[in-house]
Amino acid sequence: MGLDFTLFVDESGDAGITKVSDGNSPGSSPYMVLGAVLVDSAHAKSLLSKLKSLSSEFRKPLHCSRLKHEMKVRFAREVAEVPVVCFGVISKKSTLGWYGNQINQDHSRYYHKCAQYLLEIVVAFMIERGIEKENLSVCMEQGPFNASPF
């Protein structure tokens, strides 16, 4: 039996695709970014402990957009001590073209497509490393996209 792993997934930006900011006008972010961190069970408690400690020390939630530069540096140094594997998908909304029309500009379906790409990358990594699917738990961010749109 192999190690157990947890994949933590979160987004940066937003999934809105009908009105995207071009820098001069308001709208959703021009990019949708999904990131994931794969942690083996032997190190998960250590990682969570570091995160709780930093959040308490900073007296705020650990959301990088809310942290000062020195806090981000400290956060990165602390978390770098825990062995994790990072994954990411970056989608530039202006390149959606026909796909945006195919999904009727549905931001939920767009989010799910980005999540699909991210999970395909993770699965390829798992296969390459011989990690069985039974040994993986996935923890998705909380948000309006947790239910399947299909």
Q: What are 15-42's pLDDT values in tens digits?
A: 788 888 877 888 888 888 999 999 998 8
Place of tokens 């790409």: 117
CA distance 61 to 51: 9
CA distance 1 to 12: 35
Predicted confidence (pLDDT) at residue 150 exceeds the cutoff of 50: no
Q: What's the average model confidence in pLDDT over 49-70?
A: 88
Residue 119 tokens, joined? 């999970």
Task: Report the SS3 class of residue 139.
Answer: strand
pLDDT score recorded for residue 143: 61
Q: Whole-prediction pTM value?
A: 0.82
Segments of 1-141 assigned E as strands: 5-13, 31-40, 85-92, 136-140
DSSP classification of residue 141: P
Mean confidence (pLDDT) of the chain: 86
* Proportion of the chain above pLDDT 70, given as a percent: 93
CA R_g for the chain: 17
DSSP classification of residue 131: -
Number of helices (H), then strands (E), in the chain: 4, 4
pLDDT per residue as tens digits for the range 108-141? 899 999 999 999 999 999 999 999 989 999 988 7
CA distance 25 to 83: 41
Pick the closest to residue 92 from 28, 46, 140 (CA basis).
28
